[in-house]
Amino acid sequence: MTETITIHGAAIPKLGFGTWQLKGAECEAAVGHALATGYRHVDTAQAYENESEVGRAISDSGVSRDDIFLTTKVWMSNMGADRMADSVRRSLDRLKVDRVDLLLLHWPNSEHPFEQMIESLNACREAGLTAHVGVSNYTADQIERAAKASDAPLVCDQVEYHPFLSQRPVLDALERRDMALTAYSPIAQGGVFGNGTIKAIGERHRKSEAQVALRWLIQQERVIAIPRSSKPENIESNFAIFDFSLSDEEMARIFRLAKPDGRMIDPEWAPDWDAA
C-alpha cells in the first residue's frame, strides 16, 4: 500500500512512477505494469514525447482515472503567455484526460518575465486544465518569488534529490511555503547500487540499495519520489518499500553521503543552483 501526502488539498502518493526516456510500446507497457503493481501517481512531461503512451496505458489499465495522480510539465518553448494554455490542451488530448492533477513549469526560463509564467500557469488552473500547480528545478530564491507571485498555492518543486545530493536550501524554502519536494532521479539513475553504506543498511533490512534510497526519501516528511524503470521486476521492487522503515541513525548515515559534485542533471539552461 502506498502512502499519501496532502499539500494544499492535493493528495499525492509519496511514491510515483517516472517516465522520462520511456518511449512507445515500452513506455505503455511500463506504465501499465506500474499501475497493475499499485502505483497511483504518474509523472510525464511535454518534453518526454510520451504523453500519448502514458494516456493509453492509463485508459487501458482498468484503474479509475480518479484514483490516479497525474502530473505533466510545460516545456520551455511553451511558456509564453500566448502559448501555454493551448500547449496544455494538446497535452490533455494526448493524455486522454479532461485535466491533469498537477501542472509544473519544467524549468526556470529567462526568456520570459518570471511573474508572467506563474500567471500563465495559474490561468491554466483557472481554465480547469489542472487541479494544482507547481514548479520544477527552481532554486530556493525562485521558490519564494514564485510562491509570492502565484494566486493558487504551489504544491511542489520537482528537483533532483538522492543520497548523493543535499537539497537543504530547497527543503528549507519549501518548508516555509508548506510545499512538497518531488525527488527526481531518486536512485541516482542506478548510482546507489554498490554504495557500501546503503548496501550495508539494505542487508540489515533485506532490501536493495534502490529500496533503501527510496525509503530514505519518502521517510522525509515532505518528500515524494518518482523512480523510473522499464523492467517489470524493478518496477515491482521499487514499490516494495512500505513494509520496513529506517532508524534515525540509518537516516542520518545516508544524509552524510551527500557530496558537492553529487548533481547529475545540469543542462546549459539550468539556474544558478543553491550551494548545498
Ligand X SMILES: NC(=O)c1ccc[n+]([C@@H]2O[C@H](COP(=O)([O-])OP(=O)(O)OC[C@H]3O[C@@H](n4cnc5c(N)ncnc54)[C@H](OP(=O)(O)O)[C@@H]3O)[C@@H](O)[C@H]2O)c1
Catalytic residues: 48
Nearer to ligand X, 120 or 229 (CB): 229
> Could you give phi then psi for residue 89, rounded to 5 degrees?
-60, -40
Contact mark string toward ligand X, 217..236, x via CB under 6 A: ---------xxxxxx--x--
Query: Please, what is the minimum distance in Å from the beta carbon of residue 265 to ligand X?
Result: 5
SS (H, E, C) 149-165: HCCCCEEEEEEECECCE
d(CA 276, CA 274): 6
Candidates 124-132, 171-179, 180-188, 247-255 — which segment interacts with ligand X by CB under 6 A? 180-188
Query: Please, what is the minimum distance in Å from the beta carbon of residue 241 to ligand X?
Result: 11
Query: Please, what is the minimum distance in Å from the beta carbon of residue 193 to ligand X?
Result: 6
166 binds ligand X (CB under 6 A): no
d(CA 104, CA 152): 13
d(CA 192, CA 196): 9
Alpha helices in 17-64 (DSSP H): 24-37, 51-60
Question: Using CB atoms, what's the residue nearest to ligand X?
Answer: 18
The sign of the CA dihedral 6, 225, 79, 268 is: positive
C-alpha closest to that of 49 among 68, 24, 29:
24
Residues 34-93 that bind ligand X (CB under 6 A): 43
Query: Please, what is the minimum distance in Å from the beta carbon of residue 178 to ligand X?
Result: 21
Per-position DSSP letters for 203-264, written without gaps between them:
HHHT--HHHHHHHHHHTSTTEEE----SSHHHHHHHH--SS----HHHHHHHHTT--TT---
Candidates 33-41, 94-102, 173-181, 187-195 — which segment interacts with ligand X by CB under 6 A? 187-195
Query: Please, what is the minimum distance in Å from the beta carbon of residue 110 to ligand X?
Result: 16
185 binds ligand X (CB under 6 A): yes
Nearer to ligand X, 29 or 131 (CB): 29
Name the strand (E) or helix (H) holding 4.
strand 4-7
C-alpha closest to that of 58 among 76, 86, 36:
36
184 binds ligand X (CB under 6 A): yes
210 binds ligand X (CB under 6 A): yes
Which residues on adjacent β-strands are paired with residue 18?
Answer: 43
- How many residues contact ligand X, by CB under 6 A? 26
Candidates 80-88, 182-190, 244-252, 254-262 — which segment interacts with ligand X by CB under 6 A? 182-190
Q: For the chain, what percentages of helix, strand and coil (3-state, to nearest 5) are there?
A: 40, 20, 40
167 binds ligand X (CB under 6 A): no
Nearer to ligand X, 189 or 197 (CB): 189
- The footprint of ligand X (CB under 6 A) covers 18-20, 43, 106, 136-137, 158, 184-190, 210, 226-231, 234, 237-238, 265
